[in-house]
């Protein structure tokens, strides 16, 4: 047994599960096992886990609610960190909301509306965690995290901690500083604005109805697969190319929304990757545009 695994089994890092299948933890229901799945319940346990992994040079990945993530069929070598219930909390104070990184981004938007605070309506259809939303600068309906962000608590890969403001986060389209420097969000603070509860509820109901009509909500998906290219939409390009319904094994380009790939049952990560490659080659040939994946790939090919 590798030394890091022996140490991890005894360390104060929360729950540790070895050779844990990751498919049940993803919205696509796809993926092999992680060498180790670590579930810390507080910042101290998280920092201890990252220090141990850093000391042994063990690679690690973060898994939230498993949306926007494709886990390899071969699984993940090294460790996967999934923040536990200790990070699943939210608190409203005036016009700010402080939320733990594992808190549901959708739930946070609903609670903000009930508090009469506007600014989070766009999050009502983003099925990830607060931490994942900050990491990706998640957005929809013309808004994104950067517009309401105040600060985030971070644990870096060496176990050190920091609080980053908007400038330090270096937000851009579906990007933050955490794409360039390894760390994990543990908590975030957002600035919201007092608004009309009726108008907020109406906007969220409208977004929800639109999602119900335009997205395959009843099938396993990861959300949008590709980023929108400048001045266009990936879904429009894919549909215009006649790719709706194109299938590879158990994976299919959704008949409802062309930028979604659904798991029809038994789809593998290789099915999805092959289908993504076919889409990219077709769009580049037809439009001269290289579609960039929005989905995060985790594990070995």
Q: Is 294 a catalytic residue?
A: yes
In Å, how far from its chain's centre is CA 17?
Answer: 22
- Whether the Cβ atoms of residue 194 and residue 116 lie closer than 8 Å to each other: yes
List the catalytic residue out of 20, 121, 219, 294.
294
List the catalytic residue out of 67, 176, 224, 254.
224
44 to each of 162, 189, 213, how far by Cα in Å? Answer: 13, 20, 44
User: Cβ contacts of residue 21 below 8 Å, gap of 6+?
Assistant: 31, 32, 33, 75
State whether residue 277 is helix, strand or coil.
helix
In Å, how far from its chain's centre is CA 35?
Answer: 21
- The CA distance from 24 to 31, in Å, is 8
What's the distance, Cα to Cα, between the start and end of the chain in Å?
Answer: 24
> How many CB atoms lie under 10 A from the CB of residue 176?
24
- The CA distance from 298 to 133, in Å, is 17
List the catalytic residue out of 43, 65, 174, 187.
174
Written as six digits, the tokens of 254 are 């959704």
- The CA distance from 88 to 140, in Å, is 23
Q: Which residues are catalytic?
A: 174, 224, 294
């Amino acid at each position: 047994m590798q030394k890091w695994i022996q140490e991890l089994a005894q360390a104060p890092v929360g729950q540790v599960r070895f050779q844990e299948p990751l498919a049940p933890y993803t919205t696509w229901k796809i993926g092999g096992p992680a060498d180790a799945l670590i579930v810390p319940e507080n910042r101290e346990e998280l920092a201890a886990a990252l220090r141990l992994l850093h000391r042994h040079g063990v690679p690690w990945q973060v898994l939230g609610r498993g949306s926007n993530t494709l886990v390899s069929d071969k699984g993940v070598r090294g460790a996967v960190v999934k923040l536990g219930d200790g990070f699943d909390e939210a608190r409203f104070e005036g016009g700010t909301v402080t939320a733990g990184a594992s808190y549901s981004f959708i739930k946070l938007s609903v609670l903000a509306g009930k508090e009469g605070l506007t600014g989070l309506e766009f999050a009502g259809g983003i099925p990830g965690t607060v931490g994942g939303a900050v990491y990706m600068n998640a957005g929809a309906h013309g808004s994104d995290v950067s517009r309401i962000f105040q600060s985030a608590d971070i644990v870096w890969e060496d176990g050190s901690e920091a609080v980053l403001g908007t400038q330090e986060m270096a937000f851009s389209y579906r990007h933050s500083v955490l794409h360039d420097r390894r760390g994990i969000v543990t908590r975030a603070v957002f600035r919201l604005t007092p608004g009309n509860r009726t108008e907020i509820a109406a906007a969220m109901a409208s977004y929800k109805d639109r999602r119900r009509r335009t997205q395959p909500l009843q099938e396993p998906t990861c959300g949008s697969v590709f980023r929108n290219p400048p001045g266009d939409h990936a879904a429009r390009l894919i549909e215009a190319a006649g790719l709706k319904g194109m299938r590879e094994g158990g994976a299919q380009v959704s008949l409802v929304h062309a930028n979604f790939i659904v798991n029809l049952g038994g789809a593998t990560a290789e099915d999805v990757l092959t289908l993504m490659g076919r889409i990219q080659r077709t769009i580049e040939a037809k439009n001269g545009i290289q579609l960039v994946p929005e989905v995060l790939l985790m594990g070995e090919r």
